[in-house]
Structure 1
């Protein structure tokens, strides 16, 4: 019988990231399990704090002055044995703490004490007597009678302007009673039927290979429109037939409505949808439905990978190359890597899908770590769109200073006349890139961040896209006093303004971070365009992937160079992926598609390969460069970021860290240290930022030793300097 428990307490402190042993009181011995959330005394003052039982012991050596667990929170353990194995691996892989992992796996609502139950008012049938046959009692009586079990006391009081004391009086005299009821905050909307489609030969071969091959990990490399979603659906159906569960990951909320529409149309409403736009209560309800075995399929963004399925048969990661699968807060996990760990834990299948696989994933296919499945044709036999590159330098030489090339302008006019739809892609929101003085060159920057402010036409404002601060556009330059203040560059708002100017009859929609902040706003824009109520959809990365509109015959890439010129080793890869993905939105129906790519750098191999739909050509160029430069997949990168409001303190301490790291690695010729140096964006939200990059062949123990030495070095200033360590980051900016 277990009488003692190893508990991780709920603290962000790295110094407290270890097990503390507690005695289990007699009344809890049968109830407490590994994974239980408990309340314990901690510290000299015996402060009450929650924690999680990670281990159980029959005996311990030193029991003097050992503290006892106070109580247990939930009827069932929140963490499973598989969770604990996963947490151990995440701790090592991402250099994070127990609680950072636990808070990633468990819904935040449970830490806030939220429940999926509420006390609702029930009509008892008792008739009102003379004393109560008057207002407000008559109204309360009639409302509850007509809506039996629907309202809580608070809800009834707020929505019908009746006092809580009157409701309590009705309860006291047994005209009403309260009863606990399960809250259903999840999406139970009915969807139009999405009939099963006949698979073509490529699709059938893919399904059969995944189901019958002894390998567990697969990459489907299929051109845009090759029918990867239909393959996923067939695999999910096979899993359901076997009584197994499936997780389908999409990169972000922007893809969820269409995927949900198809899956719920095929399999009914008992599919959980899990993403960050849900409220805490909605996320808790969905998590509990999975925990209780009420659903067999989950569709969601990155965090859905942690849903507590017990009989998992399939994990699908669609658009596997997408950066949104990587978390930018601790633990800085990658959902693809978590998928691989869970594949081993549950002995299930892992399927990655993309028209533009990440360089690392395709490299692993060539090294036989993944089984490669290639789909070369569109599922319905449609042709790939024609992609034309326009050199914007020639447009300038011909005195065309518009954001639209002559070719794109003509194509837009042509499609509008034919009543066909158009997508215009620009990887930047706002009206313009920056605002500056033409006389002295002064660029308006954020006071809190080392970044130029973006002009937004709505409200005539300058907005920082990092901290959100905004200000009115000054009439005069603060440096030289001139009134030659001008907007430079182009954003989605500006594209929309230009369309209205040249094509006033066209109905436009804009899809970017600004227009999709509200709940369900993305779904509204998506459905409006799908139903043909708009002619042109203008957007950022959100429109580059997954969308399937059969009347879209033209895609215009306004400025292909925006992502190409970033100071990051993945810039060419991202440019190729974006152009290929957004090009794939054209010609998905029976009508032929055209893509116009505007660029100032038409010689770039990433732009040329994308226009030829030549992934292998791009991969071979890029993998050779990565090999020469010793970048992933040929090395690992450890990015160490340090930030502080005190710039002098930051510089002094990061230089000390740099000296220590160079001493640790002085005899290791397989590892290179870059820095310390200021980050590309050297200040965000009044915090100065510096970084060190370690690149090379790093063993797990070395990474942990580096982490521990850094924290040891900074322990005296830890409250004044923030440290972030990211193993294999997606960006070095």
Structure 2
């Protein structure tokens, strides 16, 4: 008797490899097929994976595939992408596959909705006028829902049921309608300026070539980069291929969606965490069947099953929101380039302030580079000035300096809008006792509790712990001795109310703009001039276009420069330049005032002079000698445990087993800046190598030399962007 064929099946579980299964008689499967297989006492979904099964595995250890699902098979390029991400991030392939099978219900048979169609009419049947109206609406072979039929004929549902009982109608399944309308590539969009047309032509040519290519699209804020890359999306549509656009804050993309509708006539498919399970199911299936032609999504959209992906756009490519920090740790910008290569697609990275890694790739010729030097429509770049807080200090207990207050008042007097930016939520970042100095700290994290005065709570922004402000100090029992230290946006709002009581104000932070509907309403109110003063955090920096906003005041421009983060200066200049770019985007010239205690800092000087290129060249020159990214490679090991001693022991063992050699250096172990996070004690080690040394083999050998207890977790972060 011939042995039945065997295949490898990868399960969406944190397993190191695929499992071998037998293919039962009468079933044929090929790599990519989605199947149901037994695992222990339960059944699991899996994907038939590439590669040969182990012929040495005894027959008695094999179990049969239960069946194949009637769902689109996973493409070869997506299977290769899953394997690539797993290898690069040192993650179990099954954990990566789970992201690609993120909507299991979409794999189940989709129920058909019932309708009615014409049957053979019975002989000598008597028809009333209402019945005649119903039958007149049905063409031969057409299927219509009963409720729609009754409504169109102006009759009750009972009349339709009566026709069925009399034999005039028979039940039939309704044909599935399209879940998403097709965007029209030739729908008339906004007129492009000459430099925009030239840039768009370059991007269109890249997509039309139907091969892998990466292009960096840069341009000053307000130069119309979005409208330019829309032309690349249109080219992908003309070629019959799909397009994916990644945004860092998809839930706050109301204005971007308006621009898309204006260009293509319809809305794109969306993919983000706030979608309902039904919408996720419908969208996943529409992507897999090629029906969703353009999808805009968060980083997880990279793992959707596009059958013919022709273009990936990463908008605001410098944003750290593209880094996934939990589970499989990956950077969506970098993985987008890989996905495009495996799909023979074009990839466009977009930013007014690109990351040093991307700039270096463009300068060395790995990426093409297209630049828009002018704001669209003749608008000028805003004037930027630094306010030295040592020379112009705010009043005691206040946070806005006199020159900034005067500038805001003058803006209101001209009937224009102003923005006060502070990248700090809540009322105050710290609360302490003025009697004994005790600071209110999170019990689960080594961080201070942030006061949210409007909700009367102290909250940790890392683990979500929340408590009411105590009446007495928890340490010394002094009554009413707890005072707020430093400003958050709520405190700036309080100061603004006192200064400009008649101004109409709007606070934009993740607490107050929780999702797409709130973002859309905020954008509408601002554009309709129902708001005079915006006060907010970094969510105001991302792509907003407010025609009447002419003044941006940065309350604490030095905020991001503290600490020893490798990218602190780069991130700060990116954020502040993006925020500054909200000012003066139409005819009225904008101005930006940066409150700083260090106006001589290179970041402030670059922002004032507008010489971002010079700043990035200097930043590059500082990193190159020490082989810091992008001129070297980094990988972090984060050791964590609920038991502090266990974390320390494992970190020490890893430190003793650390790799050595020319061009290889290990820093640590050391307590992480957030040494306690969500109840887990954390220690960090950092592997640094030359650019020509791959870190993955070193990491695998290193981890294999150390036995990690069950109570300890070691997370690997290849190419870390943060160091908390």
TM-score band, normalised by the shorter chain? 0.7 to 0.9
Separation in 2, partners of 1:177, 1:685:
60
1:12-46: CA deviation from partner (whole Å, max 9, x where unpaired) = 2xxx41122211001322xx221223232335xx5
Verify: 1:26 aligned to 2:32, yes or no: no
Write the mapping of 1:596-635 to structure 2, written as runs, cut at 5 A: 596-635=593-632
Separation in 2, partners of 1:280, 1:335:
23
Q: Aligned to 1:288, what secondary structure does the other structure show?
A: helix
Alignment match, 1:102 = 97
1:441-487: CA deviation from partner (whole Å, max 9, x where unpaired) = 21110111111000001232111111111111122222233343210
Separation in 1, partners of 2:240, 2:514:
38
| Closer, same or farther: CA 58–51 of 1 in aligned 2, 3 Å | closer
Alignment match, 1:724 = 715
Alignment match, 1:417 = 413
1:643-692: CA deviation from partner (whole Å, max 9, x where unpaired) = 1111111111111111011xx32xx0311111111110111121111111
1:508-546: CA deviation from partner (whole Å, max 9, x where unpaired) = 111212123356222222222222222222211111120
Q: CA RMSD in A?
A: 3.2
Verify: 1:209 aligned to 2:209, yes or no: no
1:678-715: CA deviation from partner (whole Å, max 9, x where unpaired) = 11011112111111111113777652452354266234
Q: Which runs of 5+ in 1 are unaligned?
A: 126-143, 151-170
Separation in 2, partners of 1:172, 1:65:
57
- Contact between 2:429 and 2:487, CA under 8 Å: does it hold in 1? yes
Deviation at 1:112, TM superposition (A): 8.7
Tell me whether 429-438 or 517-526 shows the greater mean CA deviation.
Answer: 517-526
Separation in 2, partners of 1:529, 1:612:
29
Separation in 2, partners of 1:149, 1:729:
61
- Contact between 2:114 and 2:173, CA under 8 Å: does it hold in 1? yes
Separation in 2, partners of 1:683, 1:55:
42
| Closer, same or farther: CA 3–383 of 1 in aligned 2, 3 Å | same
Q: Aligned to 1:395, what secondary structure does the other structure show?
A: coil
Separation in 1, partners of 2:706, 2:290:
48
Tell me whether 180-189 or 589-598 shows the greater mean CA deviation.
Answer: 180-189
Deviation at 1:87, TM superposition (A): 1.4
Alignment match, 1:437 = 433
Separation in 2, partners of 1:426, 1:186:
41
Deviation at 1:286, TM superposition (A): 1.5
Write the mapping of 1:413-492 to structure 2, written as runs, cut at 5 A: 413-483=409-479, 484-492=481-489
Deviation at 1:571, TM superposition (A): 0.5
- Contact between 2:115 and 2:173, CA under 8 Å: does it hold in 1? no
Verify: 1:707 aligned to 2:705, yes or no: no
Deviation at 1:580, TM superposition (A): 0.5
Tell me whether 301-310 or 723-732 shows the greater mean CA deviation.
Answer: 301-310
- Contact between 2:182 and 2:292, CA under 8 Å: does it hold in 1? no
Q: Aligned to 1:207, what secondary structure does the other structure show?
A: helix
Separation in 2, partners of 1:69, 1:148:
48
- Contact between 1:640 and 1:724, CA under 8 Å: does it hold in 2? yes
Deviation at 1:435, TM superposition (A): 0.1
Alignment match, 1:200 = 193
Write the mapping of 1:19-418 to structure 2, written as runs, cut at 5 A: 19-29=18-28, 32-43=29-40, 47-55=42-50, 60-72=55-67, 74-106=69-101, 108-110=102-104, 117=111, 146=147, 196-212=189-205, 216-269=213-266, 271-396=268-393, 399=395, 401-418=397-414
Alignment match, 2:6 = 4
Q: Aligned to 2:26, what secondary structure does the other structure show?
A: helix
- TM-score of the superposed pair, with normalisation by structure 1: 0.86
Separation in 1, partners of 2:180, 2:441:
43
| Closer, same or farther: CA 392–8 of 1 in aligned 2, 3 Å | same
1:47-92: CA deviation from partner (whole Å, max 9, x where unpaired) = 4333221036599355521423342352134421111111121111
Q: Aligned to 2:525, what secondary structure does the other structure show?
A: helix
Deviation at 1:198, TM superposition (A): 2.6
| Closer, same or farther: CA 58–47 of 1 in aligned 2, 3 Å | closer
Alignment match, 2:503 = 506
How many pairs are equivalent?
A: 680
| Closer, same or farther: CA 187–429 of 1 in aligned 2, 3 Å | farther
Q: Aligned to 1:315, what secondary structure does the other structure show?
A: strand
- Contact between 1:319 and 1:354, CA under 8 Å: does it hold in 2? yes
